[in-house]
Amino acid sequence: DIQMTQSPSFLSASVGERVTLSCRASQNINKYLDWYQQKLGEAPKLLIYNTNNLHTGIPSRFSGSGSGTDYTLTISSLQPEDVATYFCLQRNSWPLTFGSGTKLEIK
């Protein structure tokens, strides 16, 4: 199985700050990497699919990059509504596997 390691586990940043979240796969996942945002008490929401494709309706301050085993989610200017836990998911091979999440808070 492919293991997905997210870092950091917790991040506190200021409004307007540029924020970078990381996800590392235990083997090459050929850019089949998604990012999800989950706010407290809600279902997860797709932000980015296949590394760098913004899902419909997602603000352009969210972007993704990466290749091989290393992937990044960037929020260009953190907003109060971005407080959430962020998960990555690899869809390169079965079983599909999620990272353990990064909890993002406002400083």
Cβ nearer to other proteins, comparing 44 with 69? 44
- Distance from C-alpha of 73 to C-alpha of 84, rounded to nearest angstrom: 13
Q: Does 92 bind other proteins (CB under 8 A)?
A: no
Q: Please identify, among the stretches 14-22, 23-31, 67-75, 95-103, the one whose residues bind other proteins according to the rule CB under 8 A.
A: 95-103
Cβ pair 27, 40 in contact under 8 A: no
Binding to other proteins (CB under 8 A) within 25-64 occurs at 34, 36, 38, 43-46, 48-50, 53, 55-56
State yes or no: residue 100 binds other proteins (CB under 8 A): yes
11/96 with CB nearer other proteins:
96
Give yes or no for residue 99 binding other proteins (CB under 8 A). yes
What does the alpha-carbon distance between residue 46 and residue 56 come to, in Å, rounded to a whole number?
A: 9
Check residue 82 for interaction with other proteins (CB under 8 A). no
- Cβ-Cβ contacts under 8 Å for 104 (sequence gap 6 or more): 11, 12, 13, 19, 21, 78, 82, 83, 84, 85, 86
- For residue 98 the two structure tokens come to 């999620």
